[in-house]
Chain A
Amino acid sequence: MAEIFSTIFTFNNVLMMFIGVFAGIIIGVLPGLGTTFAVTVLLTITFGMDSYSGMYLLLGAYVGSVYGGSITAILINTPGTNSAVATAFDGYPMAEQGRAGDALNAALFASTIGGLVSAFALMFFAPQLAKVVNLIASPEYFCLCIFGLCAAVSVAGNNRIKGLICACFGLLIACVGMDPAYGTNRFTFGYYRLLGGFRFSTVMLGAYAMSTVLIKCHEAYISGTKGAEPIQFHRSNFHFHHTFRYWKTLIRSSIYGVVIGAIPGTGSAISAMLGYNAAKRGSKNQENFGKGEIEGVIAPECANNAVTGATMIPLLTMGIPGDGATAVLLGALTMQGVIPGKQLFSEGSIWVYAIMGGLIVVNLVMLLQGSVMIRLFANVTRVPLTVLMPCIVVTCFMGAYALGNSTFEIVVMIAFGMIGYLMKRFDFPIPPLTIALVLGSLCESNLRRSMLVSHNNWAVFVTRPVSVLILLLAVAFMLIPTINKFLQERKITKKLDIDNVEAVD
Chain B
Amino acid sequence: MKEIKKKTESVITLFLLMVLAVVTRIWILPAQIPETNAALNTSGTFTPRTFPGLLLVVIAVLCFVGVVSNLVSLIKLRRQYADELSAKKPEKEKKSFGQIVENLIPYIIFAILILYWFLITKIGFLISTLIITTMILALLRCKKWYLYLATWIYSGTLYLIFTKVLYVRLP
Contact = CB atoms under 8 A, between A and B. Distances in A.
B15 interface: no
A456 B45 contact: yes
B170 A401 contact: yes
Given A168-B58, A186-B32, A452-B43, 19 more contacts: A45-B162, A165-B66, A169-B59, A171-B51, A172-B52, A185-B33, A214-B106, A220-B140, A225-B142, A225-B147, A393-B136, A394-B133, A397-B117, A401-B125, A405-B169, A410-B120, A414-B117, A421-B110, A427-B6
A221 B141 contact: yes
Interface stretch (A231-239, A443-451, A484-492): A443-451
A184 B114 contact: no
A345 to B, nearest CB: 29
Interface residues of A, number: 64
Interface string A182-214: 101111110000000000000000000010011
Interface string A274-314: 00000000000000000000000000000000000000000
B151 A391 contact: yes
B109 A213 contact: yes
Contacts of A162: 10, 14, 66
Contacts of B151: 387, 390-391
A389 B65 contact: no
Contact of A224 (B6, B48, B141): B141
A221 B112 CA distance: 15
Interface in B109-141: 109-110, 113-114, 116-117, 120-121, 125, 129, 132-133, 136-137, 139-141
A213 B144 CA distance: 21
B161 interface: yes
A213 B113 CA distance: 11
Interface residues of B, number: 69
Contacts of B105: 217-218, 221
Interface string A408-438: 0011001001100100001100000000000
A270 B65 CA distance: 28
A168 B54 CA distance: 10
B74 interface: no
A407 B45 contact: no
A215 interface: yes
B114 A414 contact: yes
Contact of A407 (B13, B137, B139, B171): B171
Nearest to B52: A175
B158 interface: yes
Nearest to B117: A410
A17 to B, nearest CB: 17
Interface of B: 6, 9-10, 13-14, 17, 28, 32-34, 36, 38-39, 43-48, 51-52, 55-56, 58-59, 62-63, 65-66, 69, 101-102, 105-106, 109-110, 113-114, 116-117, 120-121, 125, 129, 132-133, 136-137, 139-144, 147, 150-151, 154-155, 158-159, 161-162, 166-171
Interface of A: 45, 47-49, 161-162, 164-165, 168-169, 171-172, 175, 179, 181-182, 184-189, 210, 213-215, 217-218, 220-222, 224-225, 384-387, 389-391, 393-395, 397-398, 401-402, 405, 407, 410-411, 414, 417-418, 421, 426-427, 444, 447-448, 451-452, 455-456
B154 A391 contact: yes
Nearest to B28: A187
Contacts of B116: 393, 397
B140 A389 contact: yes
Report which residue of A188, A387, A448, A455 has the largest number of chain B beta carbons within 10 angstroms of its beta carbon.
Answer: A387
Contacts of A405: 168-169
Most buried by A among B45, B137, B139, B166: B166
A182 B39 contact: yes
B3 to A, nearest CB: 12
B117 A215 contact: no
B158 A398 contact: yes
A215 B48 contact: no
Contacts of B166: 45, 47-49, 402
B41 to A, nearest CB: 11
Contacts of A49: 166
Nearest to A182: B39
B168 A401 contact: yes
Contacts of B62: 161, 164-165, 168
Nearest to B9: A426
A187 B168 contact: no
A44 B143 CA distance: 30
B6 to A, nearest CB: 8
Nearest to A428: B13
A162 B17 CA distance: 11
